Structure formats: structure tokens, C-alpha cells
Structure 1
């Protein structure tokens, strides 16, 4: 059964109806839209509309609307451009076999959006408005949702500080927007393991910083290490916590899990500088459902190296909204280089990935009430 979203004060229909829909006067021609949906590239093609809500100090959130997708008009002194006051989220809308459209745990994204806003001193958007803005946009651009294995409409809610001023204080004006991009399978040609470089030169975030918030600065900080890893022949970077005895935290945009040879599974414990991944928490539940022993631990780099070199770790994978679950085939840094499971996807990894994607796409029962119908 689907979630009834006890966090919503009103039904999704009621909340979505609050958004004034102003249709695009020049939408993409049907033939062009269908061609783009047939071969979508992640984050490069966008639907005809975007959802938007405006906030001003003293007035709150007003002017809920869906409008034509297009450039934003910002004053050169807008706070977001100078002080990085912005946050974002990422989730998907899935078309099921009967034509209905669903999202996966959107209330969790809404709660994380609230936490991120609080950390960045931005106004907090209610769960109602967050899910309502998504539903309003999806219903308007429902024809942009692709079909096929692991195809979906990727949704990007984001909030920016728009007040024009130069001064270090929270902005008094902001905008919440949602844009949508049709996407296909993250891996073309099937799921394949990625090679991960462990960075000891750069940290993604620090204790007391913004690591737990989903904000652009965290991702900007990961780009230079990513470039360096690519030069070494690696796909992604795994970051450490920057302490004297460094511990594993997460990749630039994904959480990480390790499957031991005895079947147990371990993942880094949330520390305040690790993103609280919605996919991560869902995987933890699915592992527990299988009666597999799973623990959240402080995993030092030294202990990880010892487990890898002794063969105690049999599989490793990363997880996030875009790729769902990504097998890790190789881990390395300046001091070691270990291939995991012969560089092939592990059985446990792929079994959990299949179960999770089946739930998201309506192919398996939703035992935990994670799915919410949008249209």
C-alpha cells in the first residue's frame, strides 16, 4: 500500500491545487519531446515547466505557481551569488505499468530540505509545499516522464537567496523552485563497478560544517579531488573525516557500504558531516528485512585497509538517488590498491539493488509504505 503521508496537513490533490499553472506558450513539439525521452541524458534535457514559490521576510511563502521553464532573473548583488546561500534535493517520479506516477519517500526529502535550510539560514519550506510543488509540476509535465527499465523523471527542488545586498547576514528574500529532467538507466550497457580513489589531501566537509546539509558548496569542494582522481584513472572519490586517525565518510555524492565475507554489512555512522541519504536509510531497512547483521560504525582508514587486504570485505557499493546502487570494484590511495570481488558486482549488492528498483517501479510490494502517488 502507498504512504498516506501523515506529515501532510492536506491531501496531495489539495496542496497541488494551490499552484497556479501558467502553461508554456511554446512547449517542445511532441516529436522532439518523444525523441528526447527515448534517449535521455542525465541532467541535460528539461521539461517545459518549473514550479516556484516565493518567500519574503514578514510575508512567508506566497505566489505558488507552475510556469514556463526558462532563465532566472537575478540582481548581480543577489545573496546566493556572493555567500552561497542555497540548498537542493534530488528525487524521481516513476511511471508504473498501469500508467500511474509515483515518487519514492518524498517526505524524507522534504524533511532533509528543512534541515538543510535551517543549517544555511534559509526559510524552511513545509512538507506540504515541498510535495505540492513536485506534484503540481509532475502533473503539468506528465508527458515528459519516460518509460522503460530504470527510466524516470528526475526532480530537482532547490532554494536560493535572492535578496540583493552585500553583507554577511541571512537574506530576507528567497525562491524555491523545482525543475525536471527525463533520465534513463544510470549505467548504459548494464550495471558495472566503479573504481574509487580515497582522498587524503582534501576533505569534503568538517565537523560542525555543512556536510549533513545538501548544499552546493559541499559538491563544489569535491570537484578538484574528482579531477585528480580521474587523472589517476578512477571514477569517483571517497572522502575522509579529516581527523588525525582518518575515518571513511562518503563519496562526493553517494553514501558507501561494505559487505563482509561472513555476510555482515557495515556502513559509516552518521557523524554530522555525512549526508543522511534517503537511499542509504532505505537500504538499511531492506538489509534488516533480510535478517542480515548491519551496523553503522566509525570506520577508520587503517581498519578498512586491513579488512580489504585480509579479504574480510567481499563486496562494496555506493548509493544515491541517481544511480540507486553502484558496485565498487576497486579502492585505492597512495599506499594501497585493492580489487574487490574480482572487479565484478557482488551478489548481495545486486540483489539489494534489484529489490529497491523493483519497489520504486512498482514491480514488488511496497511493504514499508514508501511510495507516494503523484498522478
Structure 2
């Protein structure tokens, strides 16, 4: 793929690496590629980061036909730049694209786009402990048309953001509110896809949870509102009497890449990992019996987020005295050590740039 590169003649001042937060800053450049029905994907280019000019009737604004992904680039201990499970992210983007009728994008082409953009903006990759360069590929429908149908034109784009911890708590356990009023997704819907509609549907519950003093919500199933699904933007795990339980992938939750990494590591360590449905009442009963030992969430942004409190039916379940559990810590250390090149990557998860 021949990618045209136009350098930014007015580069930004880079932010303080020790005060990045998450998603607050963006690098000097972005990648753009267009799709036209009958032609396919064309005109790949790296351009200065800046506003887009779109028609007010662009279909993405009115019918939310769009998808996105999230992954990270890391400054390894040997000074090299590496990506973690990038090909899995690109495969999942095409799964999301298929669900919302966006044309497939060649995964080698997407990888080349990401690699080229990171090489152009490599000086933006932070090196402070716990920091990384967040990579956001996304696709938007651009047809100037009011009517419900798949668009005929799209933009595939990639932007980059130097980031620190996703939650302000960092690795300190979070407070999670069990949501049994609102519904995020149902089987047969778009819950498994990374598309904005899923996240728009979650905002009201998250705002109300924040007002109650909780960081995020634990979603229950959309049909019976009793089976545990996922935590906000992350997959949820519960360690019960030495075994680890998580919700199965049945079409309403995201097939998390960090979820899969955690499962493979735990099985490699000898843990029994059980993917099966569990009701919130069953979890509460196990908690009251003293059998719930640990809870944590997994996701690209936070990696591992220990759960210290679950609020449900007006009561708080305080897990492991609201301290990070040994398994949560071990998983975080193992995954981040691979991501930063400190430990051997025996799963072939890392791609060096």
C-alpha cells in the first residue's frame, strides 16, 4: 500500500507524561483512507491531525453507522516499539464492520496504516511507568443522505493518544454498581460489536452510578435482568473457591482481547476457568457464604481493574476487604510485563514495529 505522508508543519507541545489521564491528548498526525462503492478502499494517507469536514447530512450523524477499536503501542524496556495482539483487534474490527454493514478492510492494509502512523509519531510514545500510546482505528459512514440504508462512502481513520491509567483509582479496587434497571444489549443485537450505539446506551446508567459514588456499572442480561454480563467497557471475572468464573460469549457482550489473554494465562497457571451464566443473586449468596474471593474486570484501557465493592439492592458487597487480590495482581503484572517486553512472549502476542 502506497501511503502518502504530509507532515504537520506546526507540531504540538507534548504533555507531561506523569499527568496524561486517558484520552485527553492527541498526536500530530492521523491516518485517513476513503471507501467509494464500486471502487473500494482508496487514497491512504497520513495527514496533520485536525478537524474533519463532513456534510451535515453525513449518515454517521443520523444512523450511527460506525465502528471502532482500541489497542496500545508500548515503549519496551529495550527501546523498541511493540503492539499487543494487534491482529486480533483488526480481525474484531471486521467482525463489527460486518454486523453494521460496513465493507471489510484488508487486515494487512490496516496494520500497515497503524504501523506507518506510529512510525511518524513515535516521539509521542510515553515512557513513564504505566503509560502507553493508545491507538484508535475507526470507520464512519459519510454519505450525505437521509434514509436508513448502508452508506456507499466511508472513511477509515486512525488517531493516537498518549495515555496513563484509565481509572483514576489505577490498580486500587473500584466501586461498581449493579445495573438492573437499564438495558445495554440483548442477544441478536449489536452488543458483541464495537460500535457507538452500545456505549450511548450505557451512558445514563453510568451517570446515575457515578452520582451514587460508583465508578462503573455491572450490566445484567437484557432479557431477564438477572444474569451477570460485563462491567461497563470491560469483561468481569469472579474467583470463587479457587475457580474463576466469567460470562460466556453469547452475542450480547464483547469478545474482549484482554479477557482472552487473562483466560489463557490463568489456564496456563493451572486455574480452572469456567465460562457460564451466573445470576447476581447466586453471586450475592456466594459472597454471604464467604466463597467470593476476588473480582476484577479486564480491558485494553485498564488491563486489569480490581473490583472492591459491588452495590446491589441497596447493599454493598465488599470483596477481599476492598484490597487487590493476588490473582488480579498476578494477571496485571504478567500482561503488562509482556506488553513492555520485560517477560517472554510465549503466546506470540507481541508485534514489534
TM category (shorter chain) comes to over 0.9
Alignment of 1:218-229 (within 5 A): 218-229=198-209
Query: Is 2:335 the partner of 1:351?
Result: no
Query: Is 2:197 the partner of 1:213?
Result: no
Residue of 121, 141, 146 corresponding to 1:141: 121
Alignment of 1:153-164 (within 5 A): 153-164=133-144
Corresponding residue number in structure 2 for 1:104: 84
Tell me how far apart the structure 2 counterparts of residues 72 and 126 of structure 1 sit (CA, whole Å).
Answer: 24
Alignment of 1:72-87 (within 5 A): 72-87=52-67
Alignment of 1:225-374 (within 5 A): 225-244=205-224, 246-260=226-240, 262-334=241-313, 336-374=315-353
Query: Is 2:11 the partner of 1:27?
Result: yes
**Normalising to structure 2: TM-score of the pair?**
0.97
**Normalising to structure 1: TM-score of the pair?**
0.92
SS at match of 1:124: coil
Could you report, residue by residue, the CA deviation over 1:173-213 in whole angstroms, capped at 9, with x for unpaired residues?
00010000111234567520001101110111111111000
Could you report, residue by residue, the CA deviation over 1:258-314 in whole angstroms, capped at 9, with x for unpaired residues?
011x31111011110110001000000000110111110111222122112212110
Deviation at 1:365, TM superposition (A): 0.2
Tell me how far apart the structure 1 counterparts of residues 349 and 303 of structure 2 sit (CA, whole Å).
Answer: 15
Tell me how far apart the structure 2 counterparts of residues 325 and 208 of structure 1 sit (CA, whole Å).
Answer: 28
SS at match of 1:213: coil
Tell me how far apart the structure 2 counterparts of residues 126 and 142 of structure 1 sit (CA, whole Å).
Answer: 24
Q: 1:98 to 1:235 in 2, by over 3 A?
A: same
- Aligned length in residues: 353
Q: 1:200 to 1:188 in 2, by over 3 A?
A: closer
Q: 1:190 to 1:269 in 2, by over 3 A?
A: closer
Given that residues 143 and 153 in structure 2 are in contact (C-alpha distance below 8 angstroms), is that contact kept between their aligned partners in structure 1? yes
Q: Which runs of 5+ in 2 are unaligned?
A: none
Given that residues 238 and 248 in structure 1 are in contact (C-alpha distance below 8 angstroms), is that contact kept between their aligned partners in structure 2? yes
SS at match of 1:176: strand
Q: 1:230 to 1:160 in 2, by over 3 A?
A: same
Corresponding residue number in structure 1 for 2:154: 174
More moved, 176-185 vs 106-115: 176-185
Give the superposed CA RMSD: 1.3
Could you report, residue by residue, the CA deviation over 1:157-187 in whole angstroms, capped at 9, with x for unpaired residues?
1100001101110000000100001112345
SS at match of 1:137: helix
